[in-house]
Amino acid sequence: ITDTYRLSNGKTIPCVGFGTWQTPNETAVESVKNAIKCGYRHIDTASQYGNEKSVAQGIKESGINRKDLFITTKLWNDDRGYDSTLKAFDKSMKELNLDYLDLYLMHWPAVGKDGDKINHETWKAFEKLYKEGRIKSIGISNFLVHHIQPLIDKAEVKPMVNQLEFHPGYTQPEIVQFCHKNDIVVEAWSPLGSGSVLKNPKLTEIAKKYNKSTAQLCIRWCLQNKTLPLPKSVTPERIIANTQVFDFNISDEDMKIITQLPKMGFSGLYPDEN
């Protein structure tokens, strides 16, 4: 997990991140601290998760050097727009107790009649903070092709990352290919389908062949698809196990079988009108 991807602005990003969605404050401090102890150097949170303060506490208690960490947080939907983005960013920085951020993402695209305009205004604030050096890299999350194209058309700085739901059973090929073609790193949220794909018999069968758990197979499959998995766990053994994904290779044939599994584990969070 010290391996990195290279972003379009030349910065590096650790190729597995520690996800904290649905990690409540009671467990966030311990699990973040534990993850850092296990070697994670990339932590993914969001203001909407309500745990930025606990994430910061976990980082502090780990004793790690700030410069050795890669920290991501996200702008929530209510805070879109130029001025409110700047304000929300300051608030997140205070919660996280940081003086610079590695990656800031727009959590969801605005959609509908004024969607593109709102996304553009929000992005302008991202660009300002990026140019000031307060954020090292900027990106988006859950943007599909018809959200991202208008943003890129007008953007001064192209997003370096798009974070998407991506796991066996939900692979969003159109947007993933678009991002790869445009040198945008795809981060995979819910790489285990929030745990729901782990009992799939085909995945279990393939995992066994490699002497790995189904979770490790899913994480490895993300990496071999050139996406950046963000597995979440509050369980110490799983936090470690989810990093042990660099000592095996899924064959091309098995990659194909996994990728072609029917739809499963979908969060339902991408509304149809998107």
**What are the two backbone dihedrals, phi and then psi, of residue 273, each rounded to the nearest 5 degrees?**
-70, -10
Contact 52, 45 (CB under 8 A): yes
- Is residue 241 involved in binding ligand A2P (CB under 6 A)? yes
Q: Which of 56, 75, 232, 254 binds ligand A2P (CB under 6 A)?
A: 232
- Is residue 16 involved in binding ligand A2P (CB under 6 A)? no
The stretch near ligand A2P (CB under 6 A) out of 43-51, 103-111, 234-242, 255-263 is 234-242
Separation in Å, CA 196 to CA 21, 190, 193, 237, 266: 15, 10, 5, 18, 9
Query: Collapsing DSSP states into helix, strand and coil, what is residue 103?
Result: strand
**Neighbouring residues of 6: CB distance < 8 A, sequence distance ≥ 6:** 12, 13
The stretch near ligand A2P (CB under 6 A) out of 92-100, 115-123, 131-139, 191-199 is 191-199
Active site positions, annotated: 49
Pairwise CA distance, residues 189 & 167, whole Å: 8
Residue number with CB closer to ligand A2P (85 or 243):
243
Indicate the helix (H) or strand (E) that contains 227. Answer: strand 227-229
- Is residue 19 involved in binding ligand A2P (CB under 6 A)? yes
Q: Which of 47, 137, 194, 243 binds ligand A2P (CB under 6 A)?
A: 194
User: Known binder of ligand: residue 120?
Assistant: no
- Is residue 190 involved in binding ligand A2P (CB under 6 A)? yes
Q: Which of 54, 231, 250, 254 binds ligand A2P (CB under 6 A)?
A: 231
Pairwise CA distance, residues 95 & 91, whole Å: 6
List, as residue ranges, the binding site for substrate.
107
By the criterion CB under 6 A, which residues form the site for ligand A2P?
Answer: 19, 190-195, 198, 213, 215, 231-235, 238, 241-242
